[in-house]
Structure 1
Amino acid sequence: MVMGPLLLVFLLGVGLIPPTLAQGYQEFLSKHHDANPRGRDDRYCETMMRRRGLTSPCKDTNTFVHGSSNNIRAICEDTNGEPYGIGTSKVVMALQKTHSLLLLVLLTLLGLGLVQPSYGQSYMYQRFLRQHVDPAGRGGSDSYCNLMMQRRKMTSYQCKYFNTFIHEDIWKIQSICSTTSIQCKNGKMNCHEGVVKVTDCRETGSSRAPNCRYRATASMRRVVIACEGNPEVPVHFDK
């Protein structure tokens, strides 16, 4: 049975999942800690995501925390410098910390759709996110398509002729998987449809990889996606 993201946030907030100072802690620092950032622009993100090994495949969203690692650890400690959740008194104390910074940050990210469901680690799901999901993107312009198609690795060897970017958070996209099943183009019955904001990128027909050029069309339209898993997550953009 998969632990839901809200339950995980609750357990973190009350201290029932103690922090690890070994491999898990080092992995957290590797993915999320940068004490002295040099810039906070697109180039910074591209460099850091590549340097920290988060681009094979491309991780859709990641947050870097700036500042001392001691300040980060302090979120998980009581006034005596001990981890929450050790002994009954510590649990009581931890229950009083449910509005701690960690909980607030995680709930905020969940509300914005920036934290993905824990069950979305399959290759097909990650590929769907990379190729089709851009929640914060404005889209609608040729330059947007040219940049995003290159950034999302769809022009490296040949120009992908047509691709759609969905400008909705992953929770809304995933909710499409709970609608009535319809037939996919391949004949399977695991497709679902919904109306979302999109940018369609169509190759001009005269460009060559890796310098592919696209024409953009922005709209609010019906899309069909294939879903798999339990619970179901989107794995393929059908049309």
Structure 2
Amino acid sequence: MMMGLGPLLLVFMLGLSLTPPALTQDDSRYKHFLTQHYDAKPKGRNDRYCASMMERRGLTTPCKDTNTFIHGNKGNIKDICGNKNGIPHRENLRISKSAFQVTTCRHTGGSPRPPCRYRATQGFRNIVVACENGLPVHFDESFFHL
């Protein structure tokens, strides 16, 4: 009886070892997106907020020119990748049906090396993301909600 389970167990173990890298890669791109662009409950949303968040998220070596932080619920952001909160936009992108509270941080110039200085702009905007396997993996742009 053990003889019959050996090959089956081997196939099962091989299947497990081959599946996770694909899932891990998708998950790591989504996590990278969240690190760069997601802050659920911001404190301040002013120039000091931008300087602090950009440094905390590792976006200051060199100083990144522009970065947008999306505030609110992660589920609503994920929903852009489906029909619940997103529609196709240009080639391979999706635009949100609803506006999100965002803070855009723009480097104010000077040296591309720290300390970086940023100007904050806050508002509500529809956002455009690229999705892979139902998850946002790239922030493309945002539009002011009129």
**SS of residue matched to 2:125:** strand
Deviates more, 1:118-127 or 1:128-137: 118-127
1:197 and 1:173 map into 2 onto residues whose CA distance is 11
Superposed counterparts of 1:131-210, under 5 Å: 131-156=36-61, 158-178=62-82, 179-183=86-90, 188-193=91-96, 194-210=98-114
- Cα RMSD between the aligned structures? 2.0
Counterpart of 1:72 in structure 2 is none
1:89-136 per-position Cα deviation (integer Å, ceiling 9, x unaligned)? xxxxxxxxxxxxxxxxxxxxxxxxxxxxx9896221111000000001
Once the two structures are TM-superposed, the CA of residue 195 in structure 1 deviates from its matched residue by 1.2
1:140: how far off? 2.2
Q: Which runs of 5+ in 2 are unaligned?
A: 1-22, 142-146
Is the 8 Å Cα contact of residues 192 and 227 (structure 1) preserved in structure 2? no
Question: Using CA pairs below 8 Å that are at least 6 residues apart, which structure has the higher relative contact order?
Answer: 2
Structure 1 residues 238, 217: CA separation in 2 closer, same or farther (over 3 Å shift)?
A: same
What is the SS of the residue equivalent to 2:31? Answer: helix
Q: Paired residue for 1:235?
A: 137
Contact 2:93 / 2:128 at 8 angstroms: preserved in 1?
no
Asked if structure 2 preserves the Cα contact closer than 8 Å seen for 1:138 and 1:167, the reply is: no
- Aligned mates of 1:139, 1:233 — CA distance in 2: 28
The AA in structure 1 aligned to 2:38 is V
Q: Which structure 1 segments of 5+ residues have no match?
A: 1-117
The answer as to whether partners of 2:45 and 2:122 remain within 8 angstroms in 1 is yes
Once residues 144 and 192 of structure 1 are traced to their aligned partners in structure 2, the CA distance between those partners, rounded to angstroms, is 26
Return the offset for 1:190. Answer: 3.4
Per-residue CA deviation, residues 56-85 of structure 1 (Å, 9 max, x unaligned), is xxxxxxxxxxxxxxxxxxxxxxxxxxxxxx
CA contact (8 A) 1:132 1:165 kept: yes
Identity in percent: 43
Q: TM-score, normalised by structure 1?
A: 0.45
CA distance in 1, matches of 2:109, 2:44: 21
Higher strand share: 2
Residue equivalent to 2:14 = none
Q: How many correspondences in the alignment?
A: 115
Contact 2:95–2:126 at 8 Å: present in 1 too?
no
Task: Give the AA of the match of 2:137.
Answer: V
Query: How many angstroms apart in 2 are the aligned matches of 1:120 and 1:208?
Result: 30
Match of 1:130 among 10, 25, 35: 35
Q: Distance in 1 between matches of 2:72 and 2:48?
A: 20
Distance (Å, rounded) in 2 between the aligned partners of 1:160 and 1:238: 15
Question: Hey, what's the Cα distance between the residues in 2 that align with 1:119 and 1:195?
Answer: 30
